Homo-oligomer: A and B are copies of this chain.
Amino acid sequence: MARTIVAIDWGTSALRAALLGEDGRVIEERQSQRGILNVPAGAFAEVLQITCNDWLLDPDVLCLISGMAGSRQGWREAPYCPCPAAFDDLVARLVWVETDFTRARIAIVPGMSCERDGVPDVMRGEEVQIFGALSLLGDAQQGRFVLPGTHSKWARIESGRLLAFTTFMTGEFYALLRTYSILSRTMPADEPPLDTEAFTRGVAQAHTSGSILSSAFSNRTLALFQRMREEALSSYLSGLLIGEELRAQQVDPADGMVTVIGSQALTLRYELALLSLGIPARRVGGEATWRGLWQVAQRMEPIE
């Protein structure tokens, strides 16, 4: 189904858009702060029009949207696709939306859900990045993936199917501790550059600790006994949190490569943490989203 694609990654706090050529190549990219929390009620079509109207003049264009735009608070709820699932299961569950300003077809890609120890877990947007990364890695059929962020996601792929995933509130915990906790009192208000030694010390510490509830307190005591410079404390805390994620995921060097998906600013610390534990890591950038959405288009029935 070769055609021009308008690919939209519509998240909570931002909207990213790309015009993709028939071969999936990015022709142009745009960004907006109109994440779903910044879209007035009922104004999703309007925001899309403002952002990409010129791309959507051609009625043969296909517009595919992933991310929180498919949540209950978004444009149109796209029910979660349950794990385990292959890429084609997402394609089969596209939710179509209609607008006045364009005759181009517009679909929302659903997120995914899974059940673990009797409780649900969810993601929206990351599933497209993961399948996109598989494609970018030469149609890989298996692997372990981590997508850092406010709520980072770990996912496992086998035989081309997303078997299960886990959300960690790592980025949000960091912000809470950095901003509001007793630990913030001994840290400089401005974020100093990453201290890689303190960071990897935090990763190692988390690996021998039983819980971030106790290891986080070492951030205070190391300051109290002047055994760590104040400028290094936030890097150490970051290491404790990301190290806790790796401990909980029981990442083992014997399990092979971990693929970290995201912009370099987000993935750097995860790559550092993995390498410090002897676990090979590679990165796939934000282009994973565009490849994922382009692949959705390739897998759609010709009638679409």
- A residues near B (Cβ < 8 Å) are 72, 117-122, 151, 166-170, 172-173, 176-177, 179-182, 205, 208-214, 216-218, 221-222, 224-225, 227, 241, 244-245, 247-250
Contact = CB atoms under 8 A, between A and B. Distances in A.
A247 B213 CA distance: 11
Nearest to A201: B118
B213 A170 contact: yes
Nearest to A173: B213
Contacts of A241: 213
A181 B170 CA distance: 12
A211 B242 CA distance: 12
Contacts of A227: 120
A85 to B, nearest CB: 17
A122 B168 contact: no
Contacts of A119: 205, 218, 221-222
Contact of A168 (B120, B151, B214): B214
Given A169-B181, A205-B119, A210 B176 contact: no
